Amino acid sequence: MMLSSEPDNTVIRPERNRQGWKRGLRRVLNFMRTLMKNPLTAIGVSIIGLLLVVAFFAPWLATHDPLVQDLGNALQAPGSQHWFGTDEFGRDQYSRLIYGARTTLYIVALVSVTVGPIGLLLGVVAGYFGGKVDSILMRITDIFISFPSLVLALAFVAALGPGLEHVVIAITLTAWPPIARLARAETLSLRNADFVSAVKLQGASPLRILLRHIVPLCLPSVIIRITMNMAGIILTAAGLGFLGLGAQPPDPEWGAMISSGRRYMMECWWLVTIPGLAILLNSLAFNFLGDGLRDILDPRTE
């Protein structure tokens, strides 16, 4: 019987997988350690982490059903029974604020997931191919940028109708142009680089060059821009909710809570102040996180 001198791949492969997981975990920990060195970034990450926890555990953190009305306890001041008071229908403001975090994260997550690929794709295609392709795509981008984002979002929601899904579509349609212009600028600086010329000589197709070489180099700038745009997404969503075009009653949403409480704000300050503080703190948190990511991911800041 002949013995094989080849190594057993069934043993080596799990070991390599474990080493890969360890390296990946070590990189994530080092990245988070570097990110948390900035005090403002650490505050931003903590607030966003708290928002995620609150949204995920809303059914356990809420003290009341956010939709149940109790007209006998309407406009109650903050106290032991209702920590943040009640609204004009006697609904617990604390519980509605907790569930409103879910609505805000839902909008921010969907817009960020959709607007990034759209803006990145259009930007790198325009920057790489240039010519008529660049002119057409950038003229379309200029048309969208020429209108204020809130006004354009209002127009789209008015055409589509109120609702959270329509708010996501409207904000996405107004948020992709800055990302496309950023990706185009990055691509223009990369398309004539030596490594791009080298892979062209090797016979690489334009699609392979874009996906394997240019898009990965544009991703850090795009991620930074999306993170810093999240504050604007929160404000736009709250503005649309304030106008009654976002989440429809009785669903809790921070902008809609401010809108319904503004009629009583002189006597019942908590109806407007507490949701407004939630919008302010989370907007600042995403700005702080964006600044921290820019310091780490953007080599031009070194």
Sequence spans of domains, the chain: 61-297
Whether pLDDT at 84 is above 80: yes
Architecture per CATH, domain 61-297, reads as Orthogonal Bundle (1.10)
pLDDT exceeding 90 applies to what percent of the chain?
A: 22
Mean pLDDT across 13-19: 60
| 199-229 residues labelled b (16+ CB within 10 A) or e (exposed) | eeeeeeeeeebbeebbbeebebbbbbbbbbb
Comparing 49-63, 91-105, 148-162, the range with the smallest average pLDDT is 148-162
Instruction: Give the integer Cα–Cα distance in Å for 240 and 264.
Output: 20
Query: To the nearest whole number, what is the mean pLDDT of the chain?
Result: 84
Residues in contact with 248: Cβ distance below 8 Å, sequence separation at least 6, in sequence order: 162, 163
Quote the pLDDT of residue 158.
Answer: 84
Whether pLDDT at 296 is above 90: no
Contact indicator for 276, 292 with CB cutoff of 8 Å: no
Whether pLDDT at 39 is above 50: yes
Mean pLDDT across 90-96: 91
Mean pLDDT across 121-127: 92
Quote the pLDDT of residue 1.
Answer: 45
Q: Which has more confidence, 194 or 277?
A: 277
Quote the pLDDT of residue 96.
Answer: 92
Contact indicator for 282, 51 with CB cutoff of 8 Å: yes
